[in-house]
Structure 1
């Protein structure tokens, strides 16, 4: 599930981004309205998490402009305690849900999943690489018809790789999606996560390969071709 996080507070954004990634979401961060508008124009998202106090434009103005141009992406607004006026204005402008700070991550994730289920009657997409399937709504992986049991870091890494299967993902990018920004882990810690993932994928028709100079890539294996060689 691709989520655009529009939040100017660096610490809050970093926490939300890594927490969502470790839960299997695919978050992208916009620190201001201008960046958010650029990202929204360039690609589609399943949902938007939007803080209202942005440095260049109020979040409700950004929301109004989204709706005026026909963008119906579900928007969950983060509000301050007791900000009733913002809630009322937001509902009138097309907000889909609100969450009051401070909040529990579990509630945020549940609300995001509910928004996507309701939006335009769409079902959350499933992504597939060989016999590996990723349900972006439940954030569950299946391999060969069985549930693939993963740690949060393994799940975050594999979610990034499967959304870009067949294309390399840079080491730095993968590390930032899996580990906390203030973590004491070094860059090479991602190798440990990938080693464990490779063991869990061993014997299947899917593998993680290292592309020298470019990063890591998830690819399906042509088992029939391998058998013929």
Structure 2
């Protein structure tokens, strides 16, 4: 994998968290998430304790909090769903700011927000302190199926390619006077998304054929720096 791909989430640094082995960080994230998911709704001290642990890890990693907060926008769909839950759920009603809402729905929404925020923040911390190639090597060391690791590697490698393609399609639409400012413009965006999917699928087919033409047999060559130094 080229060194210039998939680094948009990574924050370059030399902290102890950056230097920790990738497979240990993956195991730590998995164990942390299992603990978070296992906490029953309403155990707010436990959620606060998990948050303090994450804050401590971020402080040790020297990753700027603003760097992580800007990328937590990915959580917005979960936030919207959690906000709607107290109004849509059934059960006993309580008043919040003069508005009657479902008490079980309110508890479930709070748990969803807490667990989702902790999970997103922990995942972003891992991504910010681990280069993609090291993360893939760590997954290989954890005996994740080789095919899945290859798929993730290609996904990271070509994410920037697909993003650039989206940008070019947006420029092409705007150069023709199109501005997505109303609901009735959504069909145009949907057709653009379909065209982007087809182009990405065709690109993947061409890449696979090129790999087969170069002798690909189901395994990628080992290009990890530590392996190369050992062989030298």
Q: Bin the TM-score by the shorter chain.
A: under 0.3
TM-score by length of 2: 0.25
Max Rg structure: 2
Q: Whose strand proportion is higher, 1 or 2?
A: 1
